Amino acid sequence: MKQLKSKNILVTGGAGFIGSNLCEYLLDHGAIVTCLDNFSTGYKDNIKQFFDNPNFKLIEGDIRDYSDCLKSTKNIEFVLHQAALGSVPRSIKDPLTTNDVNISGFVNIVMASKQNKIKRFIYAASSSTYGDSKVLPKVEDNIGIPLSPYAITKYVNELYSNVFSKIYGIEVIGLRYFNVFGKKQNINGPYAAVIPKFIDKLLKHQSPVINGDGSYSRDFTHISNVLHMNMLAMNTKNKNALNCIYNTALGDRTTILELFSMIKNNLIKYDPDIKKINPIFGPVRSGDVPHSQASIDKAKKLLKYIPVTRIDEGIKKTVDWFFKKYKLQE
């Protein structure tokens, strides 16, 4: 991608799952990348491969510290803001820290970007903003009432970005991520996402727990589609595409049971004994919505977005990556 060559880009939360994939993609295409991370949920292991790259700079800092935000946005053209405390359960357990990072931190990094005159600010929004809305597919302008502290913080980000773009003239684009998965996703900890959690359990010959009866569905979105949307948002010359929110998804729906079967079938080739393992069904998780599926019509129209990876291909790539990593650790 020629448009990226020699561009100065800041990735906040660059040591996290999505952030580190963004750093890798940008560096591979000739960009000059600054990564800001405090390693509260990100890992140096995700970015250590970049340490010898002259186009990569790591700033160990916190978006809650305005001086760190000013330092990291200096001489930057584009900000890809991924830093946040994710996870609905974490936000229910600790809403104070979630609010502090996701709202105060967001305001800090936007205002620092304004002060340092960055060209465009692209940030990670969330499908959790749709809250209790039962309308499918989810359309950007039709949201419900938030169901968790995390969802509230991500919606507040959207409200702030809308106001800031009007008052200060900042070019802002928000990307509502839908259940992103892929390589480098955290497999450990109480807030691990469902796909790495299922892979980990099956590789250990343990039964994963499914919350509910497995009929809940999500628009699982491979990381390659998220990278693609960030690049389209950063490089668009369509003025009508700016200061907008976009669903960033596949535009499809997969139940948790279907997902389990996909992962299991992809792992059987490595370990036939996995065929015998079945899930355990537990209680429905607090704050969960039954179904989620994005309309991607707006992204198609204004950003010319077409998903690059379907769910089956994405699961295969992810399972293969995790299996290789798992074998290396044995």
What tokens appear for 100 in the block?
A: 């502090």
SS3 294: strand
Catalytic residue among 25, 123, 150, 216: 150
**Residue 54 is assigned to a structural domain of this protein:** yes
- pLDDT value, residue 286: 73
**Residue 322 is assigned to a structural domain of this protein:** no
pLDDT in tens, 129-162: 999 898 999 999 999 999 899 999 999 999 999 9
Integer Cα distance of 291 and 242 in angstroms: 29
Q: Which of 265, 117, 259, 142 is nearest to 197 (CA)?
A: 259
**Residue 34 is assigned to a structural domain of this protein:** yes
**Residue 280 is assigned to a structural domain of this protein:** no
Query: What 8-state DSSP symbol labels residue 317?
Result: H
pLDDT in tens, 174-230: 999 999 999 999 887 666 789 999 999 999 999 999 999 999 999 999 999 999 999
- pLDDT value, residue 191: 62
**Residue 276 is assigned to a structural domain of this protein:** no
pLDDT-derived band at 102 (thresholds 50, 70, 90) equals very high
Q: What share of the chain in percent tops pLDDT 90?
A: 88
Report how many domains make up the chain: 1
The domain in which residue 26 lies consists of 2-181+220-252+292-309
CATH of the domain at 161: 3.40.50.720
Asked whether the bond before 137 is cis by omega within 30 degrees of 0, the reply is yes
**Residue 272 is assigned to a structural domain of this protein:** no
Residue bearing tokens 């065929």: 275
Tell me the whole-structure pTM to 2 decimals. Answer: 0.95
User: CB within 8 A of 296, min separation 6: which ones?
Assistant: 247, 249, 250, 251, 305, 307
Q: Is 150 a catalytic residue?
A: yes
Is the pLDDT at 308 greater than 60? The verdict is yes
**Residue 198 is assigned to a structural domain of this protein:** no
Is the pLDDT at 291 greater than 80? The verdict is yes
Q: What is the mean predicted confidence (pLDDT) over 99-123?
A: 98
The vertex-94 CA angle with 93 and 98, nearest 5°, equals 130
pLDDT in tens, 246-267: 999 999 999 999 999 999 999 9
Q: What is the mean predicted confidence (pLDDT) over 263-289?
A: 91
Using an 8 Å Cβ cutoff, are 233 and 243 in contact? Answer: no
Helix segments in 169-277, DSSP class H: 194-203, 223-235, 256-267
Q: What is the mean predicted confidence (pLDDT) over 32-56?
A: 97
**Residue 6 is assigned to a structural domain of this protein:** yes
